Structure 1
Amino acid sequence: MGVGFYLFYFGTIIPLFGSYMKNPSTIYANKSIQTLATQKAEEQFPIWKLLVFSLIGFITIMTETMPVGLLLQISHDLQISKLWAGQLVSFYALGSVCAAIPVIALTKHWDRRRLLLFTLGSLCVFNGLAAVSTHYIFTLFVRFCAGMAAGVIWGVFVSYVRYLVAPHLQGRALAVAGIGQPLALCFGVPLGTFLGTLFDWRSVFWLMSILALVLVIWVRLFIPCFIVNATQQKLAFGLTLKMKGVRLILLILLIWVLAHNILYTYISLYLIAVGLGEHIDAMLLIFGLAAIVGIFVTGHFIDQYLRHLTLLSLVIFAFSALCFGIFMNSLWMVCVAVIAWGISFGGAPILLQTALADIAQAQTDAAQSMLVTIFNIAVAGGGIVGGLFFARWGIQSFAWSALILSFIALILVYRAKDHGFGVGHRA
C-alpha cells in the first residue's frame, strides 16, 4: 500500500455508499456503470476540484486540533482550568463519532453536494460561535456540533473524490485530495499556536470560519452534484467483528491512539513545565516533521516488514514516553523524545489500517468504518483520561500512562503473529 493512499488515511471515515455512485446530471438510473466510467476516462484529471477537498481536509483537521496549542489562552479567557480547556478537543472528536454514520444514513436521499455545503456551512457557523462565546459550556456545545459536521464530511469525502474521476485515476485522486489531512496534523497545531500568539485564540477560530465560508462558495460554484443510489447493501458489521483478529487490532488501535492523545492533547502543559513554554510551536513543528519521516519510512517498507515496523514503532514510542518521564530536567532529551514520538506515531495509522484490511478482506469497508470510529473515540478519550490523570497525579502522569499503554500494545502486537501482524512479505 503506497504512501499516497496513507496520506489520505488520517481522520477519514470510509464511505457507506461509495460503491453505488452515479452522476444525476448526466445519466439516468438505468445507465450502466461501464458507460459512466468510459465518459469519465475521457475527462481531464480535475486537479482544482481535488484541491478543494484537500483544503476541506486541512480545515476540518485543523479545527479539531488547534485548541491543543491555545490551551493557555482559552483557559485564561474563559476562566477555566487547562484541564477543562483540553476537553474542547475531546468534544469535537465525540461529535464526529456520534454523527457520521447515523447522519449519512438519514440523508441517503440527499444530493451529496447539498450535504457537503450544509456541513461546511455548519463549520463556518460553529467556529464563529466559538470565537464569540464567553461561556465554557456553550463553547463545548458548539465544539461538539462542529465535530458532528466534521464527522459527516469524512463520511462523504472518499466517495465524492472517487466520483470525480475515472476508476483508474481514483488512487491518484485520493492522494491529491488527501494531502490536507497530514499537513493539518503536522502543521495545524503549530500554525494555530503561531496565529494565536500573533493575534489571539478567537482570531484563529474566526479565520477557520472565514475559510469554511470560502469553501462553501467554492464547492457551490465548481463541484458537481453527486447523488448516491438509495438502495444500499448493509455493511456486515457483526460478521466483521467476529473475524479472527479484527477485535484484537481494534483494541491495539484504541490503546495506541489513546496513549498518543494523552500526550498530544496536553503537550503544551508538559512543555511549559519543563521550561519550553516559549517554544511550543517549534516543538510541535519538530513533531510534525518527524511524523512525516515516519510516514514515508512506513510507506516504503510496510509491504515487506509490517510486523517488524509495528513492533519497532511501539518500541520507539515507549522510548519517547520514558524520556518524557525521566528527563524533564534535560531540554535536549525532551527534544529527542519529541522527535522519537513523531517518527514512531507518523506511520501508526497506516500500519493498523493495513493489518486490519489484510484480515477483513471483502469486509474492509465495514472494518475501516469501525477503525475510524475507534480512532475518534481514542482521540476523545485521550483528552478525558489525560485530564483525569493530570488532576490526580500531575504533569508526569502523561508520560508514565503513555509508557504503560505502549507496553500493553507492544505485547498484543507481539502475540498477534497470526492475526494481522504476520512475519514476512504481505500477500
Structure 2
Amino acid sequence: MNPPPFAEQAGPLPQPPPRHRSGLLVLATTTFVVVTTELLPVGLLTPIGDDLGVTDSRVGLLVTVYAFTVGLTAAPLTHATAGWPRRRLHLTVSAVFSLGTVLCATAPNYPVLAIGRFLCGTVHGVFWSIVAGYAAALAPPGRQARATAVVFAGNSAALVLGVPLGTVLGGAVGWRGAFCATAALGLGTLAAARRFLPDVPHRRVPPRASGLGGALRLPGLRGMVAATALLVLGHFTVYTYVTPLLRDAAAFGTAATSALLALYGLAGFLGTWLSGVLGDRRPHTVLLSTIALLAGSLVLLGAGIRLRPLAVAAVALWGIAFAALPVTLQSNVLRLGADAPDAASSWYVSAFNLGIGAGALTGGLLSNSPVTTLPWAALIPMAPALLLAHTSRGASRPSPPR
C-alpha cells in the first residue's frame, strides 16, 4: 500500500529543488494576478460605468456573474482537460486568462466587457482546480500544506495590495489602464511559467473516482464540498456589505473603514502562514479550529459592532480566520480526494464560488433589514458546515507524528 500522500517521513525533511521553489513562486504570482483581476471591477465600478454608460449595479453584476461562471464551469472543464499534462494546462489557462483581461481592457461597450469577464471566469475555475495539487506535487513529503499556503499567499497579497493598487491606478490613468497593467503582469507571469515551472506526473484516476462526478464518491469528500459552500455563503453574506456595516453601524469614517479593510487583509497573511505551518500535522483539528474562529469573529462583530475596539478586534480575527479557511479546506480536500486531486479540487472550487454568489445574493435580500443583522445571519449556515466538517474526521486522518 502506498503511504498517505501527506504523510510525514522519518528523518530530516528534504528541501525542494531551486526549480521547484521557483515553480511555487510562479504559482503564487499567478494567484495574485487571477484574484486581482477577478476583483478589480469592485474598486472601479464608477469609472467603468461612466465610461460605458451603464449603472454601478450593472458593473457590480460582473462580479456576481463571474463567480457563478466559475462555479458552473470548474468541474466540467477540469474533467474535460483531465488528460492534459499539468504544465501545458497551466500555460493554456494562463494564456486564455490574459486574453480575456486584454479583451476587458479594450472593450468598446458593456457586452464585450462581459464577454471578456466570462472568458476569464471559465478558466479561473480550472486554474484553482489544479493549482493546489500542483503546489503539493512540488513540495517535499510532509510539507504540502505549507506549499499550498505559499500559493494562497498570492490571494492575500491581491486583497491587500493588488486590488487597492489597481483602484489607485484606475483613478490615475483610467480603468482600462488598470486592466492593461494586470494583463501585462499576467503575460509576464506566463513567460516565467514557461521558463521556471516544472512539469509534474499526472496521477491516473482509479475507476471508482472516474467520470465527472466520480470524485464525489470518495469517502468524506461530498460533505467537505457541502461544508465549503455553506461556509463561504455565510462569510460573503456579511463581507459583501462590510463597508456599510462598518460605516453605518460602527460609525467609522471613510478613511477608518479603508484602514480596517487593510487590517483585514494584513491579518490574512498571518492566517495563511498559521494554516500552512499547522495544517500538515493536524489537518482536521486545524480545520475545525478555523471554522470555530470564523464563527467566533462574527459573533464578536455582531455583538460589538457599536464598540469600536471590539469591532477592530473582530475584523482582525475575521481576516485571520477566513484567510486560513481556504488553505485548510483545500488541504483536507486534497487528502480526501488523493485518488483524484484535480477533480476533487474542481468540486471544491465550484462550491466555493457558488457560495460567493449565493452569499452576495443573500446579503442583498437582507439589505432592507438592519445591517447589524448580517453577522448573525452569516452564522446560520456555519452550524451545519461545522457538523459536516466534523464528520470527515475518519476520512481525513492527521499525519502520523515524526
Q: TM-score, normalised by structure 1?
A: 0.70
CA contact (8 A) 2:156 2:323 kept: no
Match of 2:324 among 347, 350, 356: 347
Counterpart residue identity of residue 384, structure 1: L
User: Unpaired segments of 5 or more residues in structure 1?
Assistant: 6-40
The answer to whether the aligner puts 1:266 opposite 2:233 as a matched pair is: no
Does the CA contact (< 8 Å) of 1:59 and 1:212 recur in 2?
yes
- Partner Cα distance (2:346, 2:308) in 1: 40
Structure 1 residue 313, shift from structure 2 partner: 3.4
Alignment of 1:56-95 (within 5 A): 56-71=30-45, 73-74=47-48, 83-95=57-69
Report the equivalent of 2:103: 129
**SS of equivalent residue, structure 1 residue 393:** coil
Letter in 2 for 1:263: V
Alignment partner for residue 206 of structure 1, among 166, 176, 180?
180
1:231-310 pair list within 5 angstroms: 235-236=209-210, 240-273=215-248, 274-302=251-279, 309-310=286-287
2:366 alignment partner, SS class:
helix
- In 2, the alpha carbon distance for the partners of 1:251 and 1:206 equals 37
Partner of 1:153: 127
- Which residue in the other structure is 1:403 paired with? 379
Q: Determine if contact 2:223/2:392 at 8 Å carries over to the other structure.
A: no
Change (3 A) 1:387 1:144: farther
Aligned AA for 1:246? L
Q: Is the 8 A contact 2:235 2:378 kept in 1?
A: yes
Q: Helix, strand or coil for the counterpart of 2:328? A: helix
What is the distance in 2 between the residues matched to 1:146 and 1:374? 18
What residue number does 1:215 align with?
189
1:265-318 Cα deviation digits (max 9, x unpaired): 333444444433334442222112222222333344446665654444334323
Distance in 2, Cα, partners of 1:310 & 1:158: 17
* Structure 2 equivalent of residue 20 of structure 1: none
Whether 2:291 is the aligned partner of 1:317: answer no
- What is the distance in 1 between the residues matched to 2:50 and 2:295? 33
Q: Distance in 2 between matches of 1:170 and 1:361?
A: 15
Distance 1:230 1:298 in 2: 26
Separation in 2, partners of 1:309, 1:402: 21
1:388 maps to 365
Measured after TM superposition, the shift of residue 341 of structure 1 is: 0.8
**Identity %, equivalent residues:** 29
Counterparts of 2:63 and 2:255, CA distance in 1? 22
Q: For residue 265 of structure 1, what is the amino acid of its counterpart?
A: T
- Alpha-carbon contact 2:70-2:124 (below 8 Å) kept: yes
TM-score by length of 2: 0.74
Match for 2:224: what amino acid?
I
Q: Which amino acid aligns with 1:345?
A: F
| Cα distance in 2, alignment partners of residues 42 and 311 from structure 1 | 29
Contact 2:152 2:272 in 1 (8 A): no
| Partner Cα separation in structure 2 for residue 357 and residue 158 of structure 1 | 8
| Within-5 A mapping of 1:126-205 | 126-133=100-107, 135-155=109-129, 157=131, 179-205=153-179
Cα 1:338/1:134, change in 2 over 3 Å:
farther
Counterpart of 2:28?
54
Alignment partners' CA distance in 2, 1:388 and 1:97: 21
Q: Do 1:121 and 1:213's aligned partners in 2 also have CA atoms closer than 8 Å?
A: yes
SS in structure 1 at match of 2:19: coil
Aligned length: 382
Distance, in Å, in 2 between the alignment partners of 1:106 and 1:307 is: 31
**Structure 1 contact 58–181 (Cα < 8 Å) conserved:** yes
